């Protein structure tokens, strides 16, 4: 189930990143490599959270249906995703500079999205560990 959540988030992240970098920030390094991935990552984070909260780890949620529980989990989830975003962003920038130095994919509009996808591999592993052992830890469920 976590994999399905990740796929949904990846589709949202990459699709929105491509749309923003292609239409809103066309030919802008700052827009395509800073603003667009930040917006797309946060929207994907919210998508992943709601899938995880209501489907993947619903048996680990304390007081399901409670607004307090929802927002408490959302705050923790978003905080850990920021850590994942930092990892993704560093990897994404590293791949971009590697591709520039090798002159790969420089004429393609999907180069920022491809760098984003590679960066998501790093953040996905980090987010799984944080969700499994911190946010939705089996031992923390209080009913």
Buried b (16+ CB within 10 A) or exposed e, 16-34: bbbebbeeebeeeeebbbe
Which tokens sit at 102? 């090798």
Banded model confidence at residue 140, pLDDT cuts 50, 70, 90: low
Q: What is the DSSP code string of 37-56?
A: HHHHHHHHHHHHHHHIIIII
Question: What is the average pLDDT across 36-42?
Answer: 92
Give, for 58, the enclosing helix (H) or strand (E).
none
Banded model confidence at residue 142, pLDDT cuts 50, 70, 90: low
Q: Which region holds residue 137: left if phi is over 0, alpha if psi is between -120 and 50, else beta?
A: beta
Question: What is the average pLDDT across 53-58?
Answer: 81
With 0-12 / 13-18 / 19 or more C-beta atoms within 10 angstroms meaning exposed / middle / buried, residue 117 is: middle
Q: What distance in Å separates the CA atoms of residue 81 and residue 126, rounded to the nearest whole number?
A: 9
Residue 141 confidence (pLDDT) = 52
pLDDT in tens, 81-139: 888 889 888 998 899 899 889 988 877 778 888 888 898 888 888 878 887 787 777 66
Question: Where are the domains positioned within the chain?
Answer: 2-140
Question: What is the average pLDDT across 63-73?
Answer: 82
61 with 73: CB under 8 angstroms?
yes
The residue with tokens 């130095």 is 101
- Considering the entire predicted model, what is its pTM? 0.73
Which has more confidence, 39 or 3?
Answer: 39
């Amino acid at each position: 189930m976590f994999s399905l959540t990740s796929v949904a988030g990846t589709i949202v992240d990459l699709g929105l990143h491509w749309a923003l970098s292609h239409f809103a920030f066309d030919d802008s390094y700052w827009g395509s490599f800073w603003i667009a991935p930040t917006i797309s990552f946060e929207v994907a984070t919210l998508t992943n959270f709601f899938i995880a909260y209501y489907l993947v780890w619903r048996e680990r949620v304390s007081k399901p249906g409670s607004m307090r529980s929802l927002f408490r989990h959302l705050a923790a989830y978003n905080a850990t995703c920021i850590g994942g975003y930092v990892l993704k962003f560093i990897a994404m920038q590293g791949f971009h500079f590697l591709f520039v130095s090798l002159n790969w994919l420089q004429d393609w509009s999907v180069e920022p999205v491809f760098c984003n996808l590679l960066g998501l591999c790093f953040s996905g592993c980090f987010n799984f560990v944080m969700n499994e052992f911190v946010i939705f830890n089996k031992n923390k469920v209080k009913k």
